[in-house]
Structure 1
């Protein structure tokens, strides 16, 4: 399973698996104890697939950091997150030698190792690149082919064709949502 449905919820220990959406939020299953809980929109939630680690040159997706740990540990659990600050930093330096020591704290390293160990315990240690983009492109091409093969339909003019059309935009501008990794 990819990290697309694995969540971290602020104020709650461990990680959660997104189960389904509800009217006021969503249901998430704890990877620690298997209990399902209702998470409202008030909670601060982060998808693991959207988290990145600062390095001196760029931001490295958490998935890649997990993969480097898995390669080093041969798919087994990593060092204990309860190790000393110096041991954690030394271990993480072995994984990601150019991580930004000023912006990545020992508590962050502890959390990353804790999450990695939890994912390994739950047999969710597949940190490969999701192939969703290729599938999305294929679907777009398929839809384009379908639309070309469909016969064109003539549409009737609206009943109020003689009236002036009203604009649904207010103030002449529209906003678009842009998703960015931070």
Structure 2
């Protein structure tokens, strides 16, 4: 998954990184790695948080929610990558934000398209979730249960899908 993501970022790095005069050419490859790691770090953080974080990642990968620039997960990725551009390569704040804002949504849009394209096996939801699935690198049944229970130990106490349904049908929520 990481190799495919790196390749996807590289394919889109043209104007944002490769042709960017603020990023010295000898740092282009490292900047591409920083963009890829920013995507993996933030998606992994949300996926491993259970509940709404995981469903947000799934929605993003399914292309749900329209404009990527208004998605809070995408915003976090942009901020993280922008910070890396500033810290690692001395890119000024406005240019770093502009670079990240042009590259990250483009890459994530293509990632969602590839994930949902049954004829393209380079990305699929299961392998992505496996790559993001926490310390053990696996997405397992407990991760799926956290989606339903919101990270809680029981359906009534959790904030997940089951907790919402309980409230909808007159339960304690």
TM-score of the superposed pair, with normalisation by structure 1: 0.30
Which structure has more RCO (C-alpha within 8 Å, separation ≥ 6)?
Answer: 2
Larger Rg: 1
- Which structure features the higher share of strand residues? 1
TM-score of the superposed pair, with normalisation by structure 2: 0.31
